[in-house]
Amino acid sequence: MSLKDVFASLKDFDPKKDKVGGNSALPAGKYYVSLSGVTHQAKNDREFVMFTFEVLDGEFAGRKENVFPSLELVTSTGKPMPDFVLERSIKTIMKIASVIGFEFDKRIFAGLEDDVTNVYEEIQQAFSSHLGKTLTLEIIESRNKKDPDHPYRNYDFYEAEQPTTPEAIEDPFADNPGSEEEIDESKIPF
Q: What is the per-residue pLDDT across 90-135, written as a single tens digit (0 to 9) for each? A: 999 999 999 999 888 888 877 666 678 888 999 999 999 999 999 9
The pLDDT value recorded for residue 134 is 96
Instruction: Return the pLDDT at 21.
Output: 65
Which distant-in-sequence residues (6+ apart) come within 8 Å of 121 by Cβ?
40
Task: Identify residue 143 by its one-letter amino acid code.
Answer: R
Torsion of CA 116, 118, 123, 129, to 10 degrees: 170
Question: What is the pTM for the complete model shown?
Answer: 0.74
Instruction: Evaluate whether 77 touches 103 at the Cβ level (below 8 Å).
Output: no
The C-alpha atoms of residue 57 and residue 54 are separated, in whole angstroms, by 9
First to last CA, the chain: 38
Pick from 25, 97, 38, 99: which is nearest to 65 by CA? 25
Higher pLDDT, 176 or 66: 66
In the chain, the percentage of residues whose pLDDT exceeds 70 is 93
Nearest to 139 by CA among 153, 151, 149: 153
Band the pLDDT of 189: cuts 50, 70, 90. confident
Answer whether residue 151 shows pLDDT above 90.
yes
- How many angstroms separate the Cα of 139 from the Cα of each of 27, 31, 69, 172? 7, 8, 15, 48
Separation of alpha carbons 189 and 38, rounded Å: 54
Q: How confident is the model at residue 184, as a pLDDT?
A: 78
Least confident of 24-28, 57-61, 173-177: 173-177
CA gap 70, 145 in Å, rounded: 22
